Structure 1
Amino acid sequence: MKFSKTTFLKFLKNKYFIISFVFVLYITLFSQNNLIERLSEIHDLNKLEAQKEYYLKIIKENTEKIRELRTDKANLEKFAREEYLMKKNNEDIFVIVKK
């Protein structure tokens, strides 16, 4: 069965086709949840999920560090000396800065 121009034009002039086409056009371009907004929201969601994974990884690392600091006094002293330059009363600290 061949499509001729007349059958194609009849199809385009069909009121159900026209109404359906206008409805689909309205939904994809002009409605509140249009296609452009949906694509933008999907992109934002992907970025937020990546951030979520990053922060969950950071939280896991920090939780492990806190557990180590709370359980071992040697680690706590090492951390205090390295991060906050704390010292004992009878010690001198020399900070060497590399250029």
Structure 2
Amino acid sequence: MNRLFDIFRNKYFLSTAAFAVWMLFFDKNDMLSQYEYRTEVHKLQQEKDFYEIETAKVKKDLNELNTNLNTAEKFAREKYFMKKDNEDVFVIIREDAKD
């Protein structure tokens, strides 16, 4: 028991323990901050992946619009509900059943 007290009273052990406590809880880059940074990075990575997929879709649509005039007309009708003078446009909105 006396040996255990000697270890805890050792100046090297105390300085190492104080340094560890300081680095784990009180420093600018403590454990809580590191966890928050990791979750933020994960969230931003998911957003980046989402926007890369959306960018690829938009580039594909743009390529189709630039190559084919019929595709441009189809795109204008579907996305912007454009119509010719003698036509009527009916928009059907489907609602999912919530059971």
Q: TM-score, normalised by structure 2?
A: 0.83
Distance in 1 between residues matched to 2:69 and 2:54, nearest whole Å: 23
Q: Report deviation, 1:12.
A: 1.1
Q: Report deviation, 1:84.
A: 2.6
Contact kept in structure 1, 2:24 and 2:31, CA below 8 Å: yes
1:74 aligns with 70
Alpha-carbon RMSD: 1.8
Where has structure 1 moved over 4 Å in runs of 4 or more? 96-99
Give the number of the structure whose alpha-carbon radius of gyration is greater: 1
Gap regions ≥5 residues in structure 2: 95-99
Give the count of matched residue pairs.
94
Gap regions ≥5 residues in structure 1: none
Of residues 9, 34, 39, the one that matches 1:43 is: 39
Distance in 1 between residues matched to 2:3 and 2:58, nearest whole Å: 70
2:27 aligns with 31
Identity, % of aligned positions = 26
Q: TM-score, normalised by structure 1?
A: 0.83
